[in-house]
Structure formats: C-alpha cells, structure tokens
Structure 1
Amino acid sequence: MASETGAGPSTALLTDHYELTMLGSALADGTGDRRCVFEVFARRLPDGRRYGVVAGTARVLEAIADFRFAEAELAQLRSTAVVDDATLSWLADYTFSGDIEGYPEGELYFPGSPILTVRGTFAEAVILETLVLSILNHDSAIASAAARMSGAANGRPIIEMGGRRTHEYAAVAAARAAYLAGFATTSNLEAGRRYGISTRGTVAHAFMLLHDDEEQAFRAQIAKMGTDTTLLVDTYDISAGIDTAVRVAGTELGAIRIDSGDVGPLARRAREQLDRLGAKDTRIVVSGDLDEHAIAALRAEPVDAYGVGTSVVTGSGAPTAGMVYKLVDVEGRPVEKRSTHKESRGGHKSAFRRHRETGTAVEEVICPASRVPELGEHDRALQIPLVRGGQVTGELPTLEDSRRLLRRGLVSLPWEGLKLSHGEPAIPTVFASGEKA
C-alpha cells in the first residue's frame, strides 16, 4: 500500500496473504524445502486476440532482486499476526536463490506458452506469485494492445498519452510497454527519465481557454516553442483555428492537433485547408478516444500521427493478459491441476516455434525440458536463461532489442494472424503429446 507521504508500495508486501499462509504451513511440515518448478502461462488469449506480446520481464527481474522483508514489513506482519515467529524469521533472511528462464520481452506468446519458469524451493518460489503476475499481466496486456494499434497505424507514429487514465505508477509501466510494442514516444516524463523513451507533448484546452482568444494562445506557444510546435485547433472552430494557426506561425507550422469530433472527415478538410494556405508540410495529429479499430478506420485519411491514451493503458478492453502461475513439478515429479476449465499441464517444459522456409511461423511446440528434440533449420527456441542461482544472467535484451524482436515476430505471422477481427490464435500451440492448447 502506498504511504500517506506518496511513497511507493513495499515490494515485499506485494505478496498476497494466501501466499504467506502456504509458506508458513509448508515450512512447518517440512515441504517448503522441496525443489519445485512454477510456470507462468495463459490458458487462452483475451477474446478477439490472435497473439499476445510478452512485456514486463525486465521489471519482474528487478522486482525479484529487490524483494526483501525489512523491519517495517516484518513489523506489519507481526502486528497483524499474518504469520508466526518461525515464518517471520525465515522471511527476514529471504533472498531468491533459484533459477528463472522465459520468453524474452517482445516475444509473441500463445495459449499454453511457458512464458516464465521459476525453479527453486517451494518456499522461495511460491511467495513470488503475486509479484510476478501483477507485472506480467499488466505489461503484457498493454503491449499486446499497443502492438495491434501500431500495426493498424501502418508506420505512422503513435504518441502514448494515457498517464491521466490509470494509476500513477502503472502509467510509467504502461508507457514502457507501449513503446516496446511500437509506439514512437510518450508524454510521460518519468518513463522518459527511467527508460530513455523520447517524450512529446502539446498544450491542452486549458491553455487555450486561459488566454483571451485563440490567436493570443497560439502566439504565446509559438513565442516559447517555435514554429515546429503542434497547435491545438479544435477548442472553438477548427476551420477558423487552422486559419489563425497558419497566420500566426506561417506556412512552416509543424503540426496541428484535432482532439474531438469525427476526426476522419475533419482531418480530410484540414489537409485541404492547410494545403490551400500553403502549409503543405504541416502535419495533422489526431487524438481523442482512439483504439486499434479507430486507427485502422483512419488509415486512408491524411493523418500523420496519433495520440492514444485511455485505450492503450487499459489494454483496449483486455486490461489483464490472463496469465497464471502454477506449480508443475515437485522434486522431478510432474503435477497438474485438473479442475474444469482451469486445468494445467504438469512437468517442466521448454518451447520452440516452427517456421516455413519463407519465415512464416506455423506452430508453437511445447515439450518436456528434459526431452527437447533436435531443432530443425527453421525452428527457433523461445526461452532464454534469465536468472541462475539468484543472479541475473549476463546482459539481458534491451528495450530496443525487444522492439526489434517484436517487429520480426509480427512479420513472421500468417497474414490472417494480424487481423483485428475475432479469430483463432495466429498459430496453434502443440504439445509433445500431439494435443493442442
């Protein structure tokens, strides 16, 4: 929980109460030391989606490295009697010492894909469930939605501007995930500072209303920012606003922004007006409740860039990726949940993707980690080592690496897999037994 001073939540207390209940019980009966394998996967994709995008892995590893129970957290658990003294003592010395492998950020995933595998004692791995899932479910949902929007934009840049529509900490993570998935820039300055993402922004209608008239507002902005800025022209009347903008800034005006109305026809008329006024290089930026479907509908319109807020930071209708964290192996013995519609498949797994000679992906193959077949010329292993003995392995992919990986992955999908309409996953997931997810 955030403190009243505005400090962020304790990483350790992101643990769920029931995880500590399991921990205390397992420590008491001796099963907490059993070597186990936990697996993160999604049983299905969100309704209407044909692929998912892995995001948040780097944040997970950073969070696990910082996962400690300091005196403040221990005192809270002690005062509320959440755990007994023996468990408190164990938590005081906690550091993760196990191994983790998984799909790199920017990799595509499908139903059943072993996105992250955590190996260690039951005790040290079970208390990571909420921490791991809260990050991966959020970031992967955002990246999956953002990738669809980037594809719909067909090369035109998208600005992430959803910081006002989500939790203040989630906004930073959302900006990172959207950038990973192809967005060009963000308006979130903390995301720019923390992750090196280019930041962009223009004025809001409040700035326009502050001034006595539109011309005065435009002149103030141009005087400070120069003519390459973006002027917001829809506060009063768009046509009059464009006339005023070009009169104030000249034909070298960088861009105009339209934030309301039926933006397709408005962009068309704005382009005609700008060209008629001689501002042929002035760009048109549109924003206002855009999602991937709205962006796709604007593909034929003279729009140069998009600003997207609410839909991207809420996963465009799928705010969670639906991933779960399940125990699949105990001391080398496969275990699985058999509950109806919530089943899991036992055993420590690995995964690879088969491709045609042309590079088109044809299926995702899930097999026992101990029996990975020899990969063919066009097969590609999907998991990479992330943590060994509690330490992050070598140099992990950078954010730019992840952007490039995703671009290559999307190009490899069959064309049907890129459609925004409802349909089956772009490629099937096949288990070593021949069963499909």
Structure 2
Amino acid sequence: MSTSASWDHPRTSFYTDHYELTMLQASLHSGAAHRRSVFEAFARRLPDGRRYGIVAGTGRLLEGIADFRFGEAELDFLGRTGVVNRDTLDYLANYRFSGDIWGYPEGEAYFPNSPILIVESTFAEACMLETYLLSVLNHDSAIASAASRMITAAGNRPCIEMGSRRTHEESAVAAARAAVIAGFDSTSNLEAGFRYGIKTVGTAAHSFTLLHDTEREAFEAQIASLGPGTSLLVDTYDVEAAVRAAVELAGPRLGGVRLDSGDLVAQAQWVRRLLDELGNVNTNIVVTSDLDEFAIAALQSAPVDSYGVGTSLVTGSGAPTASMVYKLVSRTDDAGNFVSVAKTAKNKTSMGGRKYALRKLNERGVATQEIVGIGHRPEDDDNDRPLLQQFMKNGELLPGWTGHEGVVRARQRHADTMAELPGVVNRLQRGEPAIPTIYEEN
C-alpha cells in the first residue's frame, strides 16, 4: 500500500530554537560557520530501570530535513523581530542541507551512548537541526520503546494503538507510526493511516450506545451497518445482558466484544465462558481501559485476544522522552584536518570523535555487547554486526527509509533486533541495560 501523494510535509525550519540562529550568526561572523563538522545524537542513559530503547522517528526526521527551508514569511519574521542580521538572513534564504547522515535504522535497539544519529556537514547547516532533530527522535523513540515493552508483555496477542485523544494532534500521528514500528498491529488514527499506509481500525464508543433508546437497538444498527464481524462494546450497562444480546443478534459470526472497565482479568474469564456456552467460540475479546505493559502482563492468564492501548503508550509509559542529546564531536581545524571535541563538564561528559558502532553476537547469535569505537572501523569478525546505515548523501535522501516502505522496513528491523537480544529484555522488572556498552579506540 502506498501513501497519498497529495499530503504535503510542513516546512520544518521554525521547529527550532532561537539560539540556533544566533549561533549561526556569530559563527558566520567568526568565519567558523563553514567548518566541516560532525554532530552525534545519543542518550547518556536509558530511562530509569529500562533495559533497552528502540529507535524511531528517523524516517519522519529525514522527510523534515529535506524540507528544511526558510521562505519569505520566515525571513520576514526573523528580520522584523531582529532575531538575526541581514548577512544571516541572506544565508538562510539559500539554506539547504547538503551533508551526510548516518544512524541506527528505525526499529533497532539502542543502549547508553549508542551513536543513534551522525550528521556531517558544515557547522552552519548541522547546528540548526538540533532542536528539530531531538524533538522528533526523543518523542518517537520514547513511544517506540514503551510500545516494544507492551508488545513483549502481550506475547502473540495483537495490540491496537488508540491514544490520539490523549496527546497533541501531530504527536498522535507520530505515536501511531512509532507504535506500529515496535510491533503494534494497527492504529485508530486515520492521519497515520493516510500518511504511512498503516492499518486503521475502530467500531464504536459508549456514546453510540447511549444515543439509542436501548442497547439492543444500538447493536442492531452497528451489525446492520458494519456486519456481524464487528466488535461490540458490551460494558455500557450490564455486561452479561449485552453479551447475550450481541450473540443473539450477530450469531456465531460475531467478531468480538470489547471490555473497557472493571476487573478485566475476572471479567474476561467469565465472558469467555459465557461466549463459549452460547456457541460463539470464535468471538474475540478485546480489552481496553488505561492499559500499560504491566496491566497487559497481568492479563496474560486471561482469555484476551487483543489489547487497545492509549494514554500510557502516547506518553511513553512513564518515560515521555528518550533524553537524547545532540553534540558536536569532531570538526575541521584551520588546516582542514578533523579534530575531536567534547564537553567535559561534570555529569554531562561526552566522548569526542567520529564513531562506529557494532553489536557483538555469541555463537548462538545472541547479542552480548554494544561496541562503540572512535576512528576507522576495524574489520568485522563473524560476531560483529555493523549498526550504522547511511540515510542521506550530499543532502539527498537515500531510498527505503521514509514513507510506508520505511515503516515496513523498521517494523521488520524491530522484530529482528528483539530476537537477537538476550532474554532479559522480556522482563519488565527494573534492571541494568541488557548488554553493556564497550568503548574501543583505534
């Protein structure tokens, strides 16, 4: 399935901070703006107690960088408000990112200090991407990381993303995309379906039942319109009466019943027994109601067929940001040679130098270490998997990383990386990162 060609990406150049443009102006004044520079996005640590993170948002980011421009309206605002001077406005009028970008593919697991994204260009081009880049990666990776834990807790049972009403309208689209990358089956968000070819689902809310004089009339209307394979919401009034009415009206072809309140474990168990007694052995039970990975894990013993997850997912299930930072790690000197640079302040140190990243696997193909090195990447042995892929070259997008194709590719990458990680990632208990990050220097 392809996405519609009629959707236009918004201009992204103002999804940024004031100080990025003042840095640009000052560096143009000093003459250093055009020094070749290498920036790196990474997280110094995982959210407290998490054992791994999942990269998401790169495809959205790349689309946005391709459209990072300053038009007449933006230039007029910057000049009228005195944000930058005339020389800087002249530079911005012709801005277009012309550098190279590498990184971990979407869906890949990451660990503390993994070089998740590497941007090489002039300082002027690369520094202005900081806020936009971090906004996208921090949000989407936080959602994907939470979604991955929920998928792990759900086992083989599908999860539906349905949190749009609990976040900003654009965040909702991004969250749906990130959730599907991490293994969610579908989303309720139509815009995500439109942009990225994601499967959308939905039936009815309690208001639909309350609109009708009786619950039975509501069920009759839904079945007549959507077919007997629809899912009926059965907890508006009396659950048992609703289940019996649903079966009577739709028969054994009833697709599902949805439970949205009460003790979901106990309720799912007796609803399953009731459905089976009534001959609806193939009718599914869908549960919703403020689920997170822990609630999903608690429902493992219950006869639930799928989960609808909203608020906890779109807020990162307690970790709404991946805490990534974007740091200059290397730049050219006056002679044109690259030199490593790094911040050394207490508690916020970073490692200078252009990085490579490998994942070491044991003889069974299980990951044992995240290897981050500085300098030229050594020859790979049979147990090292390179992690960095190139996404942009000379400012041009390389194929396969964006749109629907990018989502499909990232979803497969997530499945593959989770199969490769040690079994400890399946535990929801707090713990250290699943594999250690080892530093090398050549």
TM-score (norm 2): 0.95
Counterpart residue number, 2:210: 209
Q: Which residue number corresponds to residue 386 of structure 1?
A: 391
**Secondary structure, aligned partner of 2:232:** strand
Q: Aligned partners of 1:418, 1:125: CA distance in 2, in Å?
A: 37
Q: Determine if the alignment matches structure 1 residue 335 to structure 2 residue 336.
A: no
Distance in 1, Cα, partners of 2:409 & 2:87: 44
Identity %: 57
In the aligned structure 2, how far is the partner of 1:88 from the partner of 1:60?
A: 24
1:97, 1:389 within 8 Å by CA — same for their partners in 2? yes
The 2-side partners of 1:134 and 1:374 are apart by 35
Give the superposition deviation at 1:395: 3.5
C-alpha distance in structure 1 between counterparts of 2:90 and 2:312, whole Å: 45
Q: How does 1:85-234 map to 2 (within 5 A)?
A: 85-234=86-235
Equivalent-residue separation in structure 2 for 1:393 and 1:13 (angstroms): 24
Q: Return the match for 1:413 from 383, 404, 421.
A: 421
Q: Contact between 2:153 and 2:426, CA under 8 Å: does it hold in 1?
A: no
Contact 2:371–2:440 at 8 Å: present in 1 too?
A: yes
Instruction: Kindly provide the amino acid, as one letter, of the partner of residue 338 in structure 1.
Output: T
Residues 281-430 of structure 1 mapped to structure 2, 5 A cutoff: 281-331=282-332, 332-368=338-374, 370-396=375-401, 398-430=406-438
- Provide the rounded CA distance (Å) in 2 between the counterparts of 1:412 and 1:70: 46
Q: Give 5+ residue unaligned stretches, structure 1.
A: 1-6
Deviation at 1:147, TM superposition (A): 0.6
Residues 109-139 of structure 1 show CA distances to partners (whole Å, capped at 9, x for unaligned) of 0000000000111111000001111111111
Q: Contact between 1:417 and 1:427, CA under 8 Å: does it hold in 2? A: no
CA distance in 2, matches of 1:433, 1:291: 41
Q: In 2, Cα distance between the equivalents of 1:403 and 1:413?
A: 16
**Is the contact made by 1:50 and 1:425 (CA closer than 8 Å) also made in structure 2?**
yes
State how far apart, in whole Å, the 1-side matches of 2:249 and 2:329 are.
Answer: 66
What secondary structure is seen at the aligned counterpart in 2 of 1:371? coil
Mapped to 2, the partners of 1:139 and 1:395 lie a distance apart of 19
Could you say which residue in structure 1 is the equivalent of 2:271?
A: 270
TM-score where L is the length of structure 1 = 0.96
- Is 2:66 the counterpart of 1:61? no
Q: Give how far 1:406 is off.
A: 1.0
The Cα shift of 1:417 comes to 2.5
Is 1:432 aligned with 2:432?
no
User: Separation in 1 of the partners of 2:248 and 2:347?
Assistant: 63
Structure 1 residue 343 displacement after superposition: 1.0
CA contact (8 A) 2:360 2:371 kept: yes
Q: How far, CA to CA, are the matches of 2:425 and 2:314 in structure 1? A: 23
Contact 1:50 1:418 survives alignment (8 Å): no
Aligned residue number for residue 53 of structure 2: 52
Distance in 2 (alpha carbons) for counterparts of 1:97 and 1:195? 26
CA contact (8 A) 2:9 2:64 kept: no
Shift of 1:8: 8.8
DSSP 3-state at the match of 1:387: strand
Counterpart CA distance in 2 for 1:252 and 1:11 is 48
Q: Which amino acid aligns with 2:212?
A: H
Aligned to 1:4: none
1:83 shift after superposition: 0.6
Matched to 1:350, the amino acid is Y
CA distance in 2, matches of 1:290, 1:48: 20
Give the total of aligned pairs: 427
**1:72 and 1:418 mapped to 2: Cα distance?**
50
Partners in 2 of 1:257 and 1:246 — Cα distance?
13
1:262: how far off?
A: 1.1
Q: Secondary structure of 1:261's match? A: coil
Superposed CA deviations along residues 135-162 of structure 1, whole A, max 9, x for unmatched, are 1111111101001101110010111101
Q: Is the CA contact 2:9–2:67 (under 8 Å) kept in the aligned structure 1?
A: no
Tell me, which stretches of 5 or more residues in structure 2 are unaligned? 1-7, 333-337
Alpha-carbon shift at residue 378 of structure 1 (Å)? 1.8
Q: CA deviation at 1:371?
A: 2.2
CA distance in 1, matches of 2:300, 2:399: 42
Deviation at 1:187, TM superposition (A): 0.7
Q: CA deviation at 1:10?
A: 4.2
Tell me what 1:3 maps to.
none
The C-alpha deviation readout for 1:329-374, integer Å capped at 9, x for no partner, is 1111111111111111100101000000101100010112x32111
Q: Which amino acid is 2:427 matched to?
A: K
Q: What amino acid does structure 1 have at the position aligned with 2:365? A: G
